[in-house]
Amino acid sequence: MIVEKIVEIKNISFFYGERQVLSNISISFAKQTISAITGASGSGKSTLLSTINRLWEEVGGARVEGRVKIWLEGQEIDVYERQISLPELRRKVGMVFQIPNPLPMSIYKNLTLPLKMAGIKNRDLQREKVESVLKDAFLWSEVEPRLHEDARNLSGGQQQRLCIARAMILEPEVLLLDEPTSSLDEGAVFEIENLLLSLKERCSLLMVSHDLAQVRRVADSAVELVAGSLQ
C-alpha cells in the first residue's frame, strides 16, 4: 500500500540562542491519520511541531535550519520558502495548544475571528459555520444558549473543544496538537480523544503527547524524540 504523505520534515535543526534544541531531524507523516510525537518533557516535541507552521518565529531569539514540505490541496509547498504567506499557511495548518487559549471575548467571537481574518465577512455564512463546527466538536448543545458569553467561563474541557472547533473552522488540512489533553481532567480527556478520532476523516492530525497510553488509544503511528533527536 502506498501511503500518501502530508508533511515531510527534512534535516531540521533548531537553535534557541546558543542552545541546540533539535538536531537534524527527518521524518514524514501520512495523510488522514493521527501521528503522535512522544518523548520526555524538554525533548523538543513542541518545538518540532512549531517548525511546521513556523510559529516559533513569533517569539524571537531562535533559528532554524532545514526544510519542511506540506502537501495542501495536492500541491507541494515548501514552508521555508521566502515568498510564502504565513497567515495563509497557518489557515491551512491549524494548531491547538497545551493550555486551552480562548481569546478574552465571547464564544461566538472566538469562532468568527478566524473567518473575519480570512476575509469571510458574510454574517449568515459565519453563523452557519459556527453552528456546524460546534456540532462537530460535540459542543453545540452545551454552548448554544450562551454563545455571547465570555469563552473563559467554560470548563477546561469545553474550552479545549472550543479551541479545536476554532482551529477547524477554516477547514485546515493539517491540525497540529501540542499536548491537547495534558491540562485536563480524565472525563474531558476522553471527550477530546473521541473528537480527535472523528476529525481524522477530514484532516491529518499531528499530536505531541507524553502519555503513552493515550498514544496507543488514538494514534495510528508514533515516533519518539529523545533530547532533540529521533529515536
Partner 1 sequence: MNRVYDCLLYFSAGICGLLLLGAVAGLTGFLLWHGLPVLGLELFFGSLKIGEIVDVIFLQQVVVDGLWPAVVGTCLLVLMALSTALPLGLGAGIYLAEYAGGKAKTLFSLTFDLLAGVPSIVIGLFGFSLTLYLHRQFSSLTPCLLISGLSLALLVLPYLVRTTQTALEDLPDSLRLTAAALGAEKSATIILVLLPQALPGIFSGVVLAIGRAAEDTAVIMLTGVVATAGIPRSLFDNYEALPFYIFYTASQFSDQHELQQGFGAALVLLIICVLLFTGAGLIRKKASYRLLYHSK
Which grid cell is 134?
A: 460546534
Between 30 and 77, CB nearer to partner 1: 77
Applying CB under 8 A, among 37, 38, 90, 191 the residue interacting with partner 1 is 90
Which of left, alpha, beta for 14 (phi over 0: left; psi -120 to 50: alpha)?
Answer: beta
Identity at 130, one-letter amino acid code: V
Part of the chain binding partner 1 (CB under 8 A), chosen from 11-19, 37-45, 82-90, 199-207: 82-90
Q: How far is the CB of 201 from partner 1 (least distance, A)?
A: 22
* 97-116 residues near partner 1, rule: CB under 8 A: 97, 101, 103-106, 108-109, 112-114, 116
Strand 221-226, strand 229-230: pairing: antiparallel
Q: Do the Cβ atoms of 36 and 204 come closer than 8 Å? A: no
- Closest among 12, 15, 8, 14 to 24, alpha carbons compared: 12
- Give the SS3 label for residue 119: coil
Q: Tell me if 197 contacts partner 1 by CB under 8 A.
A: no
Q: How far is the CB of 215 from partner 1 (least distance, A)?
A: 23
The residue ranges that bind partner 1 (CB under 8 A) are 53, 55, 58-59, 86-91, 94-95, 97, 101, 103-106, 108-109, 112-114, 116-118, 148-150, 166-167, 170
